[in-house]
Structure 1
Amino acid sequence: MSEGYILISTGPEKYFDMAIQAAKSMRLFDPMRPICIACDDERLLDSPKADIFTNKYLIPDDMLHLKGTEFHLFVNRMSPFDRTMYVDADCLIASSRIVAIWEKLKEYHVTFPGIERSSGFWRLEIPPLIERFGLEFIVQLNGGVFFFDRSPEAEDFFKVAQDFFINHRDVATVKHRKGGGFSNESIWGLTMAKTRMKIYPLSDCWNISTLKWSAWHIGEAPLSLHLTKSDSSYQPAICHFIGLGQGHCPNDLYAKFSEMINIQLNQKLPPQQTLKNA
């Protein structure tokens, strides 16, 4: 049974370059699993710098009406793997603990790290949202990292999510703040609730975002990343650099950790040799 990572790059070339750095972090911390890139630019897929990816998917014309994170709602059509971990291009694998998380994911068909919410506000007012769709709760989550397999349960999950997007997006979600189009996160949260998919525990720190960070440091033996938020310290398996390049993101951490990943990767095997062994 095949399993691997998938990243999506659409729009400006900088997102493709970010996906390459994310792939380098995968090569360092989980060198044997393949990595697929889905991209709307055939020129980039054919370029030498795309050689780090083991699989390449050119997004077809009938999907190019989508914008930003809307593409993620159809990632099940893009993945060549039986078991897939989707990772945003502005993420870095930050610990070899990612290998153990793959083992834990065998208990799931589709999952996101998150929590149940039945009151308050998250993207939208929650009570009228769950009432409208006949749910008990919505799952608050970060859509930057998630898992799915190739099972009937996962196929049903994506059908529900795509239906929310195609037929109910005016009430099920909001416009994305930066990427254009509609945000996918409340759609994922509604779909997790409607399909009763098991939620991955936040306590395992599979994916920690840099939102509201206050301090950080890098461990060197072994290489790891430590992030402080609201006086709590986290050691994420994956770090999601929300707002990368903007002032509220720890851009110096991204640059330093990327540099250390690249150095250690070069000390092991050249990317081409790593690919041949994947």
Structure 2
Amino acid sequence: MDSEAKPSQGREGYIYTSYGKEKYLRSAFVSALTIRRYDKARPIALICSQEHADIIDSIGLKDVFDRIEILDEKHQSIVGFKHNLHHYMPFERNMYLDSDMIWCRHPDNLWHAFKPYGYTITGQDSADVFYGAPKNAKVFLDVLLRRRQRTVRKFGLSHLYRVQTGIMYAADKDLTRKVNDLAAHYLKQKEKTHFVSRTTEAGRSLESCEWSLGMAMSKLELFVYPWFNGYESPQLDYIHGMVEHDQDYIDVVVQYFCNPFIQALRGLKSKALRNFVLSFFSLLPRSMDHMWVTPYVLHFGWKHQKEHFFEFAEQQWSKHFQKDLDHTEQVGK
């Protein structure tokens, strides 16, 4: 179903998805508003459940979404949507975005960088040992038993990409379908891999799509766009204590360590532990080399950091509707 809001046949467009709790619709709306700070031309589509489409109609959110389509019920999950992007390509060139994101730069250069590829995801050439594996001490058993190496060898791979699906890009429908079909094939064979279900993690109820997409892209020898790319990084994680920003996240810089191992330590949940480990490794040459980067997108992907995004989203949601209310009252006078 297309909305009647602002019909658009743009060649390039952004796509959000939402289903489930209303807060996810609010997040997509607020994230889309941050795109409009910089890009007022490219259309933004929302692929959502019928329930969320009804909410949009009832409270009026059509001023930011140029196109609204209904998400099939069987695709209303992380895997369901991201393994089926070939069904949802409303534009010639499509950029798929997670909703827990704040845009910090004009995206023209990012669109230009994606243009040569029929399909790509931001990521790294080699996945670390935690990728799709236990996020605790159990990972050492994987290392000792060489489970990651066995998965790579068993499926005829020479490497394993680490993809970060907060930003995905698709322009070639046949290639996108090929990636999705292969990823679905790998997911069905999870018991033959070292990967574990994400639903075993505290607070997680939906399966991950990332390791299966990473395997598919590795097998098909597709290019993964560098997740960590210095001053041109497409997205960087919000980590409290490593980001400087104003209240509205307009002026944003992220501490980016040039050493990949040190950069990987950003995910330590305890700030005190992270600072202790960093101080220990500061004895090594190059370990503290860093830059302050304004990424295209600030991504609140870590579960223990999401509260900061939801706080911002609630503020922006209230501010937007208060502005509409003030305008209505002025018109009525």
| TM-score, length of structure 1 as denominator length | 0.79
Other-structure match for 2:122: 113
Other-structure match for 2:245: 218
Query: Alignment partner for residue 251 of structure 1, among 300, 308, 311?
Result: 308
Query: Alignment partner for residue 35 of structure 1, among 41, 44, 51?
Result: 44
> What amino acid is the match of 1:235?
T
CA distance in 1, matches of 2:20, 2:235: 24
> What amino acid is the match of 1:193?
S
CA distance in 2, matches of 1:192, 1:228: 29
Other-structure match for 2:189: 168
Other-structure match for 1:75: 85
CA apart distance, 1:121: 4.0
Aligned residues: 255
CA distance in 2, matches of 1:75, 1:237: 22
Query: Alignment partner for residue 214 of structure 2, among 181, 189, 200?
Result: 189
Larger relative contact order (Cα-Cα within 8 Å, sequence gap ≥ 6): 1
2:85 is the counterpart of 1:57:
no
Look up the SS of the partner of 1:84 in the other structure: strand
Other-structure match for 1:102: 111
CA distance in 1, matches of 2:240, 2:221: 31
- Does the CA contact (< 8 Å) of 1:4 and 1:85 recur in 2? yes
2:181 is the counterpart of 1:156:
no
Residues 248-278 of structure 1, C-alpha deviations (whole Å, 9 max, x = no match)? 447179629x75xx79xx9xxx9xxxxxxxx
CA apart distance, 1:75: 2.5
Other-structure match for 1:239: 298
Look up the SS of the partner of 1:18 in the other structure: helix
CA apart distance, 1:179: 4.3
- Does the CA contact (< 8 Å) of 1:217 and 1:226 recur in 2? yes
Residues 217-261 of structure 1, C-alpha deviations (whole Å, 9 max, x = no match)? 2379x94321225563321101111246x5x447179629x75xx
Other-structure match for 1:273: none
Residues 115-167 of structure 1, C-alpha deviations (whole Å, 9 max, x = no match)? 222774422342122112110111112111111113432332222223223x3
CA apart distance, 1:45: 4.2
Residue 11 to residue 118, structure 1, CA distance change in 2 (3 Å):
closer
- Does the CA contact (< 8 Å) of 1:2 and 1:81 recur in 2? yes
Other-structure match for 1:132: 154
Residue 10 to residue 169, structure 1, CA distance change in 2 (3 Å):
farther
Look up the SS of the partner of 1:16 in the other structure: helix
Identity %: 20
Look up the SS of the partner of 2:47 in the other structure: strand
Residues 17-68 of structure 1, C-alpha deviations (whole Å, 9 max, x = no match)? 000001101112211111111112242343343302111111124x15x534
CA apart distance, 1:80: 0.8
CA distance in 2, matches of 1:205, 1:169: 31
Runs of 5+ unmatched residues, structure 2 = 1-9, 134-146, 257-262, 264-287, 328-333
- Does the CA contact (< 8 Å) of 1:119 and 1:127 recur in 2? no
Range with greater deviation from structure 2 (169-178 or 71-80): 169-178
Residue 67 to residue 250, structure 1, CA distance change in 2 (3 Å):
closer
Look up the SS of the partner of 1:112 in the other structure: strand
CA distance in 1, matches of 2:184, 2:30: 29
Other-structure match for 1:46: 57
Structure with greater strand percent: 1
- Does the CA contact (< 8 Å) of 2:300 and 2:309 recur in 1? no
| TM-score, length of structure 2 as denominator length | 0.67
Runs of 5+ unmatched residues, structure 1 = 271-278
- Does the CA contact (< 8 Å) of 1:139 and 1:193 recur in 2? yes
Residue 32 to residue 140, structure 1, CA distance change in 2 (3 Å):
same
